[in-house]
Amino acid sequence: MKNAAIFFFLTFVTAAATPADKKSDLQSYELHSARQSGELARVQIQLDVGGDLKFQPGAEKADPVKMMVSARLAYDEKLVEMASQPGATVRAVRHYDNATAELKIGQNQFQPILRDQRRLIAVKLDGGRPLLFSPAGPLFREELDLIDVPGCSALVDQLLPVKRVATGDHWQHSDQLMAGLLGLDEVRQNSAVSELSAVADGIARMQISGRVEGSVDGAATQIELKGKYQFDTQTNRIIWFGLLIKEDRKPGDVASGMEVVARLQMRIATLEQSKELAEAKLRGLPLEPTPPLTQLACRSPSNTWLLAHDRSWYLTTDDRDRTVLRLLNQGQRIAQCNIAPLARDEAGKVLPLEQFQDRIRTALGKHFGQFVEAGESVSPSKYRALRVVVRGEVSDLPIQWYYYLIAGDHGRQVVFTFTVASELVDRFGDADQKLVRAFRFEDPAMSAKPTVLPRQ
């Protein structure tokens, strides 16, 4: 589907009811949400995306690849803290009883899932992109991508006008609100405006349109949006939200670019009670996003190892030969980490430190400069760990490498290779040590890893 042919106008079916009274076009309305902390809602979302993935210049796959996504989400949501004004903190907790998606990329198909033990999700919004995490422990990146969709249900109320409006009136939306609704890290330009188009039969109908430019995961993006939302004047709540997004995202350091059209429909209904969000079930659960809870999990395709990492690490390659993660800081790539298995030594022997250094020198060849550090230790998981730090050059750029050989039981071994430009070493800090400390070998009989959407 070519970009020039896929942008289409938004049409949605709206509900009809018997009018209670007639109001002139000159009458003004106070459209303030009555949602309060502790309130429950039932949310259903349908998201459909179609378009092209775009790759970086010089990438192995240079031509765009067709992609389609169809996702269905359904959850009970409880507001823990409701914002009194736009930009203020909003916190909520959700229980997903449905989180499924069908993805097609070229000839490949994928079906990411949300594990049963991660269906309880906490949400925090603090004037920007929503932060979703599980109080039960780290999510996989593909689980987070599945549920972190545009149009956060805990945020849509902030679309409403802050003062009385009449039919035909317009009001602008803040950069913070658009970053939260569209899942952006930064908004540089924003012309998003809403309008009250009609009030009839107890429903106020509004529409939103505009253009937003910003960045997500270090990649520049341009978004054109059109949408509609309905406000029930009897319950004083938004009950329906529809959004059409046309996005042109440039290729970044951690993901492909894309030219896509996405259509989202969200229904929000009041809920009297939720078995999964009852006070007794939530009591004592950590609902504040501490570093251990906001970490993501990464497991090898062969189910032989698992590690938890900060969200600034992004999985870019994941196959049996190697796993590649890249570290971003304020949109800039700081480092790359390659994790590769070594042939299993059934006798449980591990290379002596000196031989490990010799292999590193041989592997780097002409890029080798000098050894900076070399040592041996025992990791928190009781694995033998060799660590070697090397300086050298690649294309006249000074580079620092951090090599680790981690040896576990039954002769299992992996090698970590961190590559950092020398000028970024201070910003890199001890990120290598944190990642290695979080590593552990697993029993291959562990339950299968959720299906991964490859990041090109």
Per-residue pLDDT tens over the stretch 5-31: 333 333 333 333 333 344 444 699 999
Give domain 295-441's CATH superfamily: Mog1/PsbP, alpha/beta/alpha sandwich (3.40.1000.10)
Residues 6+ apart with CB under 8 A from 152: 123, 125, 130, 180, 181
Domain 3-8+25-282 is in which class?
mainly beta
> Residues 221-225: what's their mean pLDDT?
98
Angle made by CA atoms 54, 56, 58, in degrees to the nearest 5: 125
pLDDT tens across 245-293, in order?
A: 999 999 999 989 999 999 999 999 999 999 999 999 999 999 999 999 9
User: What would the mean pLDDT of 432-437 be, rounded to a whole number?
Assistant: 96
The pLDDT of residue 59: 58
DSSP state of 158: G
Strand-pair partners of 113: 100
Q: Return the pLDDT at 442.
A: 87
- Which residues, including other chains, have CB under 8 Å from residue 443's CB and lie 6 or more apart? 303
User: For the segment 194-215, what is each residue's pLDDT rounded down to a tens digit?
Assistant: 999 999 999 999 999 999 999 9
Q: pLDDT tens digits for 40-85?
A: 999 999 999 999 999 865 555 568 899 999 999 999 999 998 875 6
Query: Are 436 and 379 in contact, with CB atoms under 8 Å apart?
Result: yes
* Structure confidence by residue, pLDDT tens digits, 306-324: 999 999 999 998 888 899 9
For residue 51, the SS3 value is: strand
From residue 124, how far is each of 8, 49, 329 by CA, in Å?
33, 25, 21
CA distance 210 to 226: 7
Residue 414 above 50 pLDDT? yes
Average pLDDT rounded to a whole number, residues 166-182: 96
Of residues 16, 11, 443, 36, the one with CA closest to residue 226:
11
Question: 366, exposed or middle or buried, with CB in 10 Å at 0-12, 13-18, 19+?
Answer: exposed
Give pTM, 2 decimals: 0.87
Q: Which of 33-37, 208-212, 351-355, 407-411 has the lowest mean pLDDT?
A: 407-411
Domain ranges of the chain: 3-8+25-282, 295-441
CB atoms within 10 A of CB 73: 22
Res 286: pLDDT? 93
| CA gap 341, 321 in Å, rounded | 7
The answer to whether 295 and 287 have CB atoms below 8 angstroms apart is: no
Residue 159 has pLDDT above 80, yes or no: yes
Give the pLDDT score at 86. 63
Two structure tokens written together for 193: 């405006």
Lowest mean pLDDT among 16-25, 93-102, 169-178, 391-400: 16-25
- Predicted confidence at residue 433, as pLDDT, reads 96
